[in-house]
Amino acid sequence: MQAEDFLKQHLLKQISLSDEQFAYVFSHFKPHSFKKGDVIISPGDQVDAEYFVLSGCLKSFYVNDKLKMFILMFAMPNWWASDYNALYYKVKATTTLDCITDTEVLSLSNDDLEKLCNEIHELEHFFRWRTCRGYIAAHKRLLSFMNKDAKGRYEELMKTYPELYNLVPKQLIAAYLGVSRETLSRLNYK
């Protein structure tokens, strides 16, 4: 099965697992097919799983009191997404996770994740590795916010993830960069 291979490749890039171990790990994941626009996590939800993207694209975002949307991350194939604050601190979700396109994911409940990490040292290593990458990426983005203006951030994003340009509407890119749609629209001409 395709999902299985996809996850396997993802894990094996960082750790080694026997076929039996992997099969056991995989048995804890549940496949889901979502349609464009489907909502996986809503503010206020209790969150108890994270999601590994097989195909398609998710976005994780926060909406403030003025109904302005801020995108925390786009999740493409091979990425993981959830409301980690809610998952980790066991509080209600404050962000939304939904589908930009039709999307296939594998879900892993946090209980199972912790159980598997406990049982399989290598897997705990994997998740430490993954989280560390995320941490570093978040700090790079923080620097980008502090150091660069709207145009600089836009160019950096397009250089790093050129595929986004055609994949997601401009207003979502604006919401990721933390600028208004109008400003983003004007950037090309300056």
Going by the DSSP 8-state scheme, the letter that residue 36 receives in this structure is T
- CB closer to DNA, 108 vs 153: 153
- CB closer to its own copies, 36 vs 121: 121
Q: How far apart are CA 184 and CA 77, in angstroms?
A: 26
165 binds, among DNA, its own copies, none (CB under 5 to 8 A by kind): none
What's the closest the beta carbon of residue 88 comes to DNA, in angstroms? 29
CB-based contacts of 178: which residues, under 8 Å, 6+ apart? 70, 145, 153
What's the closest the beta carbon of residue 21 comes to DNA, in angstroms? 43
Q: How far apart are CA 37 and CA 15, in angstroms?
A: 34
Q: How far apart are CA 187 and CA 30, in angstroms?
A: 42
What's the closest the beta carbon of residue 157 comes to DNA, in angstroms? 14
Q: What's the Cα-to-Cα distance from 45 to each of 35, 49, 86, 94, 96, rounded to whole Å?
A: 20, 11, 9, 8, 9
Tell me which residues touch DNA (CB under 7 A).
66, 68, 149-151, 169-171, 178-186, 188-189
Question: Does the CA dihedral 109-113-105-37 come out positive or negative?
Answer: positive
Token couple for 133: 């990458």
What's the closest the beta carbon of residue 157 comes to its own copies, in angstroms? 14
What's the closest the beta carbon of residue 66 comes to DNA, in angstroms? 7
180 binds, among DNA, its own copies, none (CB under 5 to 8 A by kind): DNA
Tell me which residues touch its own copies (CB under 8 A).
62, 64, 68, 70, 72, 84-85, 88-89, 117-118, 121, 124-125, 127-128, 131-136, 138-143, 145-147, 178
149 binds, among DNA, its own copies, none (CB under 5 to 8 A by kind): DNA
